[in-house]
Amino acid sequence: MTRGSPKGPIVVVNPNSNEDVTQGMREALAGFALPGGPAIECVTLTEGPFGVETQEDSDSVVMPLARMAKERTDASGFVIACYSDPGLEVCRSVASCPVFGIQESAVLTAMSRADLFGSIALSPKSILRHRPYMRRMGVLGRLANIRPLNMSVAQSHAPESFPRIVEVGEALKADGAGAILLGCAGMAGHRVALEAALGVPVIDPVQAATGMALAQALVAG
């Protein structure tokens, strides 16, 4: 197994070029940076589109991510912080450290907390992308449901959307979900309040992937 430097940073790449989103990740991940452990370095993919919304947007960042994954030989972990996990395979084939996708990590983390999990998507269109991805993972038997907010990324981020997010979360609980995934980085700011409102674990995918990267880095360390 190839391995980067066990003491090297965990590199968390925001594949869109919106630096505000990267800054939000830095804040959400602050708790993972412990003395003696690897640094958590959040970086922006400057070649990326301002937002990743379509399949074209998503595929457009694959080769730039592969180049970055190949270059960062100092990293102890590499996190692709976009929910469609663009470039996960190619980054794994060229990186010298473990590579984590945030959707994959969120699903696996949810599976350690509940028998069935549910996912909150932005739109029916994104559901059509997420379901085959989970089928490829071979975990559809653990999926309670994916339900759409019918919102844009920006709307999902706004505080006034919280009641709608709770409503979708409750519907997923009625579908049998014992843990809930936030299916877009835009919702990360609602995690703590949503977990309190729903009474079941709510998973922020960027945190999930970074946590898995940290755990792996400490094994290697």
Piece of 42-50, 138-146, 160-168, 182-190 that binds a copy of itself (CB under 8 A): 138-146
Note whether 215 binds a copy of itself by CB under 8 A: yes
Rg over alpha carbons for the chain, rounded to the nearest Å, is 16
> Which residues, in sequence order, are CB contacts of 194 under 8 Å at separation 6+?
162, 165, 166, 169, 180, 182, 202
Note whether 178 binds a copy of itself by CB under 8 A: yes
The interface mask with a copy of itself, positions 53-82, x = CB under 8 A, is -xxx-xxx-xx--x----------------
Nearer to a copy of itself, 27 or 136 (CB): 136
Residue type, 155: Q
User: Is the distance from CB of 148 to CB of 123 less than 8 angstroms?
Assistant: yes
What angle do the packed helices 205-220 and 19-28 form, to 10 degrees? Answer: 60
CA dihedral 174, 179, 185, 190 (to 10 degrees): 70
The interface mask with a copy of itself, positions 13-32, x = CB under 8 A, is ------------------xx
Separation between Cα atoms, residue 143 and residue 136, nearest integer Å: 13
Nearest distance in Å: CB 191, a copy of itself: 9
Whose tokens are 């450290």? That residue is: 97
Interface pick for a copy of itself out of 23, 71, 136, 167 (rule CB under 8 A): 136
User: Is the distance from CB of 16 to CB of 50 less than 8 angstroms?
Assistant: yes
Piece of 16-24, 156-164, 181-189, 200-208 that binds a copy of itself (CB under 8 A): 200-208
Separation between Cα atoms, residue 44 and residue 124, nearest integer Å: 28
Note whether 94 binds a copy of itself by CB under 8 A: yes
Note whether 193 binds a copy of itself by CB under 8 A: no
Separation between Cα atoms, residue 135 and residue 148, nearest integer Å: 18
Separation between Cα atoms, residue 209 and residue 175, nearest integer Å: 25
Which residues make up the interface to a copy of itself (CB under 8 A)? 1, 31-32, 34-37, 54-56, 58-60, 62-63, 66, 87, 89-90, 93-94, 98, 100, 104-105, 108-109, 111-113, 115-116, 124, 127-129, 131-133, 135-142, 176, 178, 195, 198-202, 204, 207-208, 210-212, 214-216, 218-219, 221
